[in-house]
C-alpha cells in the first residue's frame, strides 16, 4: 500500500484542518467498499477532475476501497452533433439505435474512461479502466419504457438501453483485493452479447448493492436535496421519500437519483448520499467529517 506522504494528495490531507477529525472515520471505513458515481460539472473542469483523482487515491491509501462509475452525457452529445447523428430522449433516457450505441461506447469506454484512469494513476493510484463487457462484468436486460395513454398502456422501444440484471461480483472483489481501483463505464452486454447503454446512476446503484458498499455516493451539480425554502436536507429516511415526492420537495431529475439511492439501500448498501461534485474534496468532507456536506439516504 502506498504511504500517504508519497503523493500530492497525501500532502494536501496532512495540511488540512480536518485531519484530526478524519482519523476516527478512517478507522470506521477501513476495509469498506465505497461506490462513487462520477459525473456532472466535476468531469468537465481540470481542477475538479484532478482534485477528484487525488481524493480517490487517498481513500485507497487509508484502506478504503473506492469503485468509480462514470457518466458522460455532454461529451456524447458533442460527438453525436459533430458526426451529425440525430438523438432524442424519452424522460431523460437517450433513444439509442445501433449507430448511436457505437458512438456512445466509443466516447464512454474509449475516451472518458481512459482519461479518468490516467488522472488517478497520475496521482499515485492503480486504476483499471473497465466497461460492463470486460470479464462479463454487467449482464443487461433491455429497458422497457411504459407509457400510459387515455386508452392503453404502450411499451416504448428505446433501442439499446438496458438495465443491469447480473453483476460479476467475484471479479470486482478480485480487483479490490489486488489493490486496483476499478473505473467503470456504464456499458453492458445482453443475452446475445449485444451492447447496451446503461444510465450511470442506475449502474452505480446496482454495483454498490452487489458488493454491499458502505456508501453509494452520487456526485451531481447541486448541493443535494433541497427543501422548498432552498435549504439542504442533510438526511432522508427511505420511508419518507414517497411523501417528499408527492409534496414536490423531490422533483424533476432528482427523482430518479433518489430512487437509485433508495433501491441501493434496500438491497444492502448501508447508506447513499447525493453530493455536489462542484465542491472541491466533497467526497472527503462527506466521509471524514461528522455532519458531511450532502443529503444522506438511510433506512
136: three-class secondary structure by DSSP? helix
Indicate if the pLDDT at residue 6 is higher than 60.
no
Give phi and psi for 62, each to the nearest 5. -95, 15
Instruction: Give the least confident one: 15-19, 63-67, 79-83.
Output: 15-19
pLDDT at 14: 47
The mean per-residue pLDDT over the stretch 10-38 comes to 73
pLDDT 10s digits, 41-79 = 667 777 888 999 999 999 999 999 999 999 998 899 899
The pLDDT value recorded for residue 153 is 60
Spatial CB neighbours of 174, under 8 Å, sequence gap ≥ 6: none
Number of domains in the chain: 1
Are 154 and 147 in contact by the 8 Å Cβ rule? The answer is yes
Please answer whether residues 127 and 180 qualify as being in contact, where contact means their C-beta atoms are separated by less than 8 angstroms: yes
Average confidence (pLDDT) over 5-27: 56
pLDDT at residue 41, rounded to an integer: 67
- Mean pLDDT, the chain, whole residue set: 88
CA–CA–CA angle 15, 16, 20 (5° rounding): 105
Strand duo 93-94 + 89-90: pairing: antiparallel
pLDDT band of residue 261 (cuts 50, 70, 90) is: very high
Phi, psi (degrees; rounded to nearest 5) at 185: -90, 145
For 152-203, give the DSSP string. Answer: -EEEEEEEEEEEEEEE-HHHHHHHHHTT-EEEEESEEE-TTS-EEEE-HHHH
Angle at 165 between CA 34 and CA 262, to 5 degrees: 50
Residue 104 structural domain: 4-298
Q: Copy the grid coordinates of residue 34.
A: 465505497
The 8-class DSSP code of residue 108 comes to I
Angstrom CA distances, 229 to 226, 232, 255, stand at 8, 9, 18
Q: Are 241 and 224 in contact (CB under 8 A)?
A: no
| Contact between residue 68 and residue 171 where contact means Cβ atoms under 8 Å apart | no
CATH code where residue 151 lies: 3.40.1160.10
Helix (H, G, I), strand (E, B) or coil at 258: helix
Residues 92-108: tens digit of each pLDDT: 677 889 999 999 999 99
- Where residue 19 falls among pLDDT bands split at 50, 70, 90? low
pTM of the model: 0.88
CA angle 217, 169, 97 (to 5 degrees): 75
The closest alpha carbon to 105, from 169, 204, 38, 198, belongs to 198
pLDDT category, 140, cuts 50, 70, 90?
very high
Distance (Å, rounded) from C-alpha 205 to C-alpha 210? 9
* pLDDT at residue 4, as a whole number: 41
Query: With 70 as the cut, is the pLDDT of residue 147 above it?
Result: no
182-226 residue pLDDT tens:
999 999 999 999 999 999 999 999 999 999 999 999 999 889 999
Please give the pLDDT value at position 5: 39
SS3 119: helix
Determine the straight-line distance between the first and last CA of the chain, rounded to whole angstroms: 34
Residue 161: which of 130, 203, 205, 129 has the closest Cα? 203
CA–CA gap between residue 257 and residue 201 (Å, rounded): 7
Amino acid at each position: 500500500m502506498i504511504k500517504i506522504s508519497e503523493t500530492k494528495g497525501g500532502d494536501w490531507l496532512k495540511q488540512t484542518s480536518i485531519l484530526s477529525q478524519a482519523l476516527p472515520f478512517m478507522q470506521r471505513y477501513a476495509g469498506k467498499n465505497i461506490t462513487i458515481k462520477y459525473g456532472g460539472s466535476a468531469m468537465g473542469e481540470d481542477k475538479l477532475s484532478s482534485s477528484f483523482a487525488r481524493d480517490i487515491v487517498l481513500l485507497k491509501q487509508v484502506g478504503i476501497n473506492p469503485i468509480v462509475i462514470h457518466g458522460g452525457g455532454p461529451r456524447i452529445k458533442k460527438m453525436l452533433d459533430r458526426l451529425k447523428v440525430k438523438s432524442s430522449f424519452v424522460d431523460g433516457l437517450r433513444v439509442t439505435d445501433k449507430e448511436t450505441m457505437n458512438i456512445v461506447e466509443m466516447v464512454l469506454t474509449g475516451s472518458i474512461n481512459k482519461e479518468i484512469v490516467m488522472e488517478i494513476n497520475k496521482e499515485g493510484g492503480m486504476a483499471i479502466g473497465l466497461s460492463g463487457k470486460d470479464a462479463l462484468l454487467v449482464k443487461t436486460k433491455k429497458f422497457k419504457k411504459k407509457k400510459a395513454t387515455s386508452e392503453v398502456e404502450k411499451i416504448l422501444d428505446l433501442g439499446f438501453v438496458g438495465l443491469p440484471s447480473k453483476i460479476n461480483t467475484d471479479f470486482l472483489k478480485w480487483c479490490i483485493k489486488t489493490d486496483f481501483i476499478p473505473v467503470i463505464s456504464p456499458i453492458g452486454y445482453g443475452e446475445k452479447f449485444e451492447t447496451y447503454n446503461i444510465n450511470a446512476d442506475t449502474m452505480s446503484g446496482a454495483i454498490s448493492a452487489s458488493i454491499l458498499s458502505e456508501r453509494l455516493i452520487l456526485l451531481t451539480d447541486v448541493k443535494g436535496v433541497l427543501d422548498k425554502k432552498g435549504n439542504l436536507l442533510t438526511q432522508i429516511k427511505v420511508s419518507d421519500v414517497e411523501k417528499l415526492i408527492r409534496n414536490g420537495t423531490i422533483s424533476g431529475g432528482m427523482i430518479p437519483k433518489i430512487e437509485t439511492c433508495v433501491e441501493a439501500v434496500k438491497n444492502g448498501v448501508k447508506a447513499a448520499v447525493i453530493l455536489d461534485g462542484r465542491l472541491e474534496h466533497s467526497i472527503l468532507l462527506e466521509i471524514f467529517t461528522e455532519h458531511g456536506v450532502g443529503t444522506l439516504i438511510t433506512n
